[in-house]
Amino acid sequence: MKRLRTTRRTMITTTALAALALSGAAVTTASADSPETKSSKGFTTTVVDFGAYTSKIEKGNPKDPKDQDPTVDATNNTLAVSPNERFAVATNSYSDHLVVIHVPSGRKVAEIKGYVSPRNILFAPDSKSFTVSDSARGVVDRISMAGFHVTQRLPLGAGVFGTAQSRDGKWLYANNAAADTVTVVDLENNRPTDVLTGFHEPRQGTKLSYSGDKLYVTNYGEGEVSIVDLKNKGAEPETIGDFKGLRAVSVNRAGDRLYAANSESDEISVINLESGARTSVHVGDTPYGAALSPDGSVLLSGNMADNTLTAVNTEDNSVIGTVKSGSKGALKGPRQAISFSADSKTAWVLNDDLTVAEVDVDQLKVTDVLGD
């Protein structure tokens, strides 16, 4: 039986979702396609019909990108933990659904179906909703946590992939890997304001600086990172190149260090953005992730091929150690989908089977698996 995490247990608001999560009721399924209503022990989800943007897309082998998404020949995964650390939402690009997990209890409480190639998930700052991009559908949906209603749908074009969000939740930046663009969206008014061009297959990796004035966009096709000055969007972006299998980036709060995962050379590149100096840190086999802790002290590399995480000390770029599967739970194909708790002591890492490994960052151990 799943143990209850009493050390991090918090009071849950009196919503139907919270009641479901704490009662252990059956998993509820919602759909992003059909306007039907389903219920489970009093918990009801209603799905909005968005007309043309809910058309069926046929797919063959779910794990073959070409059969699933004709616009982007790539697979990825994504995990977002709400700022209040109560819920996690996860998926991968060959799943037709999103998984919702109640973090304190470790229970999977819902599946949201109807997607084709879901790519990236971001929570709103108030934890009340999240966005998910789907490259095959060409949309970014906002979904309310109060019943999993799709409250808005942004048709941003087939190929929409990675997303970044301003800290106040007012602006969204969406990569399009098929069109080689980044769309700037005013979320308050639900409308795009700019389409930036000149990128090269920008996929999942896009990060906004802490100050909100620069956007870091991975160009997988060229092995480069573009740095967009958001105060002067028409200017030619600065680029940093010579990455090998560029998968993910992180930028520290001060904005003077960039970390990039090189899946082909098994390295994390550390770039001094002021001097241009570069350091390479050897990590595990096929690193896809480069996730920086909120306090900036630790970087975790998700090493997909050997099912490990490498912890890097950002003070001197030394390897602290390696997280492996243990008696408390397994790591299965860790990629970019890594989230930290606000105090930087816990990391949540998405597995291939859409369970979430919980990691003690200080001890470098898997302490539990959520959603199994």
Prediction pTM value? 0.87
pLDDT at 149: 85
DSSP-derived secondary structure letter, 287? B
Percentage with pLDDT > 90 across the chain: 74
pLDDT at 43: 35
Q: What is the mean pLDDT of the chain?
A: 86
Q: How far apart are CA 306 and CA 63, in angstroms?
A: 19
More confident residue, 16 or 200: 200
Cα-flanking dihedrals φ and ψ of residue 338, to 5°? -135, 130
């740095």: which residue's tokens? Answer: 227
Token pair recorded at residue 79:
């995990």
Helices (H), 205-361: none
pLDDT tops 80 at residue 311: yes
The strand pairing partners of 28, in sequence order, are 110
CB distance 256 to 273 below 8 Å: yes
pLDDT tops 70 at residue 123: yes
pLDDT at 205: 86
Q: Using one digit for the tens of pLDDT, what is the confidence trace for 41-58?
A: 323 333 344 444 444 455
Q: Using one digit for the tens of pLDDT, what is the confidence trace for 149-183?
A: 889 999 999 999 999 999 999 999 999 999 999 99
Res. 66 pLDDT band, cuts 50 70 90: low
